[in-house]
């Protein structure tokens, strides 16, 4: 079954989301270098702070609070200790380029919580077998925004059609490591509709995905979220699409992949 993750700093929204189909709340404390990397793109740059984690902890069920820290740096030990003290259930390391960075990060965490490496550089992708088997690593997530920049691609979903995610899936599935990639908008929305992307998750064996900012329009409060959308109904649409794909034949999944490739190639050609 797919796990849906949602990024929010609002405790009421987090509690509501967990009651309506969201499996993890994602606190994003990554700031170092992100504006320089993605400032020219239409991507979301987090303003989350450690205080948000403290605020969220009572509202989020045990085991469901994920925190992305900064890339490995001289302050990583302080970041790790402070987020663990604030109640993080999972820690994510972004933008690493070598296995030593990940191993050092896992050593400092010391098995107190599971680690999720965020594979979003060409170097990390090339090291995927070692990444997935690093002591302390429980899952792997592939970040398409920065991976796209690292690989010089023009559209973040190109790895779905150029073989990169198929290769990653083969490695991770063979090792029995749960993994995920990318984000989802609402059903029926986006250049590449969520229903088609979910078919690719099922085909590849991915079981984690982030609800993108376009899904919940980055609502800053529960009141705004509920005024903007029927959250439960939109989650039900995603669950129904996933269920359809899980009941689909290999031929149907292959046909969906061909449709995804056609759309992605058209987008890339027009970029």
Q: What is the CATH number of the domain that holds 248?
A: 3.20.20.60
pLDDT at 47: 75
CA distances from 31 to 35, 114, 134 (A): 7, 22, 25
Q: In which residue are the tokens 């129904």 written?
A: 240
**Whole-number average pLDDT of the chain:** 93
Q: What is the CA radius of gyration of the chain?
A: 18
CA distances from 114 to 105, 127, 140, 207, 268 (A): 11, 19, 11, 17, 37
Mean pLDDT of 20-32: 95
Q: Which two tokens stand for residue 87?
A: 């109640």
pLDDT at 32: 84
3-state secondary structure of 180: strand
pLDDT at 40: 46
Instruction: Please check the confidence at residue 33 and state whether its pLDDT lies above 70.
Output: no
Mean pLDDT of 59-79: 96
Mean pLDDT of 55-84: 96
Mean pLDDT of 127-140: 98
Mean pLDDT of 89-101: 97
pLDDT at 220: 87
Q: Name the CA dihedral angle for 80, 85, 89, 92, rounded to a multiple of 10 degrees.
A: -20
Q: Name the CA dihedral angle for 146, 258, 127, 99, rounded to a multiple of 10 degrees.
A: 30
Instruction: Please check the confidence at residue 64 and state whether its pLDDT lies above 50.
Output: yes
pLDDT at 217: 86
User: What is the number of domains present in the chain?
Assistant: 1
Mean pLDDT of 101-114: 98
Task: Quote the CA–CA distance of 2 and 47 in Å, as a whole number.
Answer: 27
**Size of the chain, expressed as the number of residues it contains:** 271
Q: Which domain holds residue 197?
A: 3-270
Residues 6+ apart with CB under 8 A from 180: 3, 139, 141, 142, 201, 206, 207, 208, 209, 210
pLDDT at 45: 54
pLDDT at 266: 95
Q: What percent of the chain has pLDDT over 70?
A: 94
Least confident of 44-48, 183-187, 195-199, 229-233: 44-48
pLDDT at 127: 98
pLDDT at 37: 47
């Amino acid at each position: 079954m797919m796990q849906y993750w949602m990024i929010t700093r609002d405790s009421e929204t987090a509690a509501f989301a967990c009651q309506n189909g969201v499996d993890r709340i994602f606190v994003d404390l990554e700031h170092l270098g992100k504006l320089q990397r993605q400032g020219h793109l239409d991507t979301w740059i987090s303003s989350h702070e450690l205080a948000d984690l403290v605020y969220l902890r009572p509202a989020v069920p045990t085991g469901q609070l994920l925190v992305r820290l900064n890339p490995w740096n001289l302050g990583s030990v302080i970041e790790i200790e402070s987020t663990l003290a604030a109640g993080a259930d999972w820690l994510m390391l972004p933008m690493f380029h070598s296995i030593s960075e990940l191993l050092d990060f896992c050593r400092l965490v010391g098995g107190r919580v599971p680690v999720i490496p965020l594979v979003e550089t060409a170097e990390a992708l090339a090291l995927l077998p070692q990444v997935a088997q690093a002591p302390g690593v429980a899952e792997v997530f592939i970040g398409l925004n920065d991976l796209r920049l690292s690989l010089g691609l023009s559209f973040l979903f190109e790895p779905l059609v150029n073989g990169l995610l198929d290769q990653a899936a083969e490695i991770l599935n063979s090792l029995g490591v749960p993994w995920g990639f990318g984000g989802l908008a609402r059903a029926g929305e986006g250049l590449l509709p969520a229903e088609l992307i979910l078919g690719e998750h099922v085909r590849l064996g991915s079981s984690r995905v982030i609800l993108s900012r376009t899904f919940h329009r980055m609502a800053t409060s529960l009141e705004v979220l509920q005024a903007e959308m029927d959250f439960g109904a939109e989650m039900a649409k995603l669950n129904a699409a996933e269920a359809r794909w899980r009941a689909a034949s290999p031929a149907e999944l292959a046909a969906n992949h061909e449709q995804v490739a056609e759309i992605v190639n058209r987008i890339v050609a027009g970029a």
